[in-house]
A and B are shown apart, each in its own frame.
Chain A
Amino acid sequence: MNPVNYLYLAALLFTIGAAGVLIRRNAIVVFMCVELMLNACNLAFVAFSRLHGNLDGQIIAFFTMVVAAAEVVVGLAIIVTIFRSRHSASVDDASLLKL
Chain B
Amino acid sequence: MTDVATVHSLWTMAAGAEDKIPAPHIEYGQLSPTLIVLAAAVLGVLVEAFLPRRSRYYAQLMLTVVGLAAAFAAVIGLAAGGYGTEKAHIAAMGAIAVDGPALFLQGTILLVSLVAVFTFAERRLDPAAHGNRVDSFAAQAASVPGSESERAAVKAGFTTTEVFPIVLFAVAGMLVFPAANDLLTLFIALEVFSLPLYVLCALARRQRLLSQEAAVKYFLLGAFSSAFLLFGIALLYGYAGTVTYAGIADVVDGTVKTVDPALAGTMGNDALLLIGGAMVLMGLLFKVGAVPFHMWTPDVYQGAPTPVTGFMAAATKVAGFGALLRLLYVVLPGLRWDWRPVMWGVAIVTMLIGAIVAVTQTDVKRLLAYSSIAHAGFILAGVIAVTPDGVSSVLFYLAAYSFVTLGAFAVVTLVRDAGGEATALAKWAGLGRRSPLVAAVFAVFLLAFAGIPLTSGFAGKFAVFKAAAEGGAGALVVVGVLSSAIAAFFYIRVIVLMFFSEPTPEGPTVAVPSALTSTAIAAGVVVTIALGVAPQYFLDLAGQAGTFIR
A is bound by B = yes
Question: Is B187 an interface residue when CB atoms closer than 8 A count as contact?
Answer: yes
Question: Is A82 an interface residue when CB atoms closer than 8 A count as contact?
Answer: yes
Shortest Cβ distance from A83 into chain B, in angstroms?
10
Question: Is A94 an interface residue when CB atoms closer than 8 A count as contact?
Answer: yes
Is the beta-carbon distance between B213 and A96 smaller than 8 angstroms?
yes
Is the beta-carbon distance between B213 and A52 smaller than 8 angstroms?
no
Residues of A within 8 A of B260 (CB): 52-53
Is the beta-carbon distance between A79 and B216 smaller than 8 angstroms?
yes
Question: Is B198 an interface residue when CB atoms closer than 8 A count as contact?
Answer: yes
Interface of B is mostly: helix
Interface of A is mostly: helix
Question: Is B262 an interface residue when CB atoms closer than 8 A count as contact?
Answer: yes
Q: Which of A1-54 contact B (CB under 8 A)?
A: 7, 10, 14, 17-18, 21, 27, 30-31, 34, 37-38, 40-41, 44-45, 48, 51-54
B175-190 near A? 1/0 per residue, CB < 8 Å? 0000000001001100
Is the beta-carbon distance between B241 and A54 smaller than 8 angstroms?
yes
Question: Is B212 an interface residue when CB atoms closer than 8 A count as contact?
Answer: yes
Is the beta-carbon distance between B227 and A17 smaller than 8 angstroms?
yes
Residues of B within 8 A of A59 (CB): 184
Closest residue of chain B to A87 (Cβ to Cβ) is B144
The distance in angstroms between the C-alpha atoms of A14 and B234, with both chains bound, is: 12
Partner of A74, one of B195, B224, B361: B195
Is the beta-carbon distance between A74 and B219 smaller than 8 angstroms?
yes
Is the beta-carbon distance between B220 and A34 smaller than 8 angstroms?
yes
Closest residue of chain B to A80 (Cβ to Cβ) is B142
The distance in angstroms between the C-alpha atoms of A74 and B195, with both chains bound, is: 7
The distance in angstroms between the C-alpha atoms of A11 and B4, with both chains bound, is: 47
A30-B220, A41-B230, A48-B238 known; A97-B214 Cβ under 8 A: yes
Is the beta-carbon distance between B262 and A53 smaller than 8 angstroms?
yes
The distance in angstroms between the C-alpha atoms of A21 and B144, with both chains bound, is: 27
Query: For chains A and B in complex, what number of residue pairs have CB atoms within 8 angstroms?
Result: 138
Is the beta-carbon distance between A85 and B209 smaller than 8 angstroms?
yes
Closest residue of chain A to B190 (Cβ to Cβ) is A67
Is the beta-carbon distance between A37 and B227 smaller than 8 angstroms?
yes
Q: Which of B183-233 contact A (CB under 8 A)?
A: 184, 187-188, 191, 195, 198-199, 202, 208-210, 212-217, 219-220, 223-224, 227-228, 230-231, 233
Output the residue of B202, B220, B228, B299 with the most chain A CB within 10 A: B220
The distance in angstroms between the C-alpha atoms of A71 and B298, with both chains bound, is: 23
Residues of B within 8 A of A74 (CB): 195, 198-199, 219
Is the beta-carbon distance between A94 and B217 smaller than 8 angstroms?
yes
Residues of A within 8 A of B217 (CB): 94, 97
Partner of B243, one of A34, A37, A56: A56
Residues of B within 8 A of A34 (CB): 220, 223-224, 227
The distance in angstroms between the C-alpha atoms of A36 and B356, with both chains bound, is: 37
A41-B227, A48-B237 known; A78-B210 Cβ under 8 A: no
The distance in angstroms between the C-alpha atoms of A41 and B213, with both chains bound, is: 28
Is the beta-carbon distance between A21 and B224 smaller than 8 angstroms?
yes
Is the beta-carbon distance between A60 and B213 smaller than 8 angstroms?
no
Residues of A within 8 A of B419 (CB): none
Partner of B265, one of A45, A51, A67, A75: A51
Shortest Cβ distance from A77 into chain B, in angstroms?
7
Residues of A within 8 A of B152 (CB): none
The distance in angstroms between the C-alpha atoms of A57 and B263, with both chains bound, is: 14
What are 20 A-B pairs with beta-carbon distances under 8 A? A34-B227, A37-B231, A38-B227, A41-B230, A41-B231, A44-B234, A48-B234, A48-B237, A52-B260, A52-B263, A56-B237, A57-B237, A67-B187, A67-B188, A75-B198, A77-B199, A78-B219, A81-B212, A95-B213, A97-B303
CB-CB nearest 3 A-B residue pairs = A37-B227, A44-B234, A48-B238
Known interface pairs A78-B212, A94-B217; 15 further A-B residue pairs with C-beta atoms within 8 A, sorted by A's residue number: A17-B227, A37-B230, A41-B234, A51-B238, A52-B263, A70-B191, A71-B191, A75-B219, A75-B223, A77-B199, A78-B216, A81-B212, A84-B144, A95-B213, A97-B210
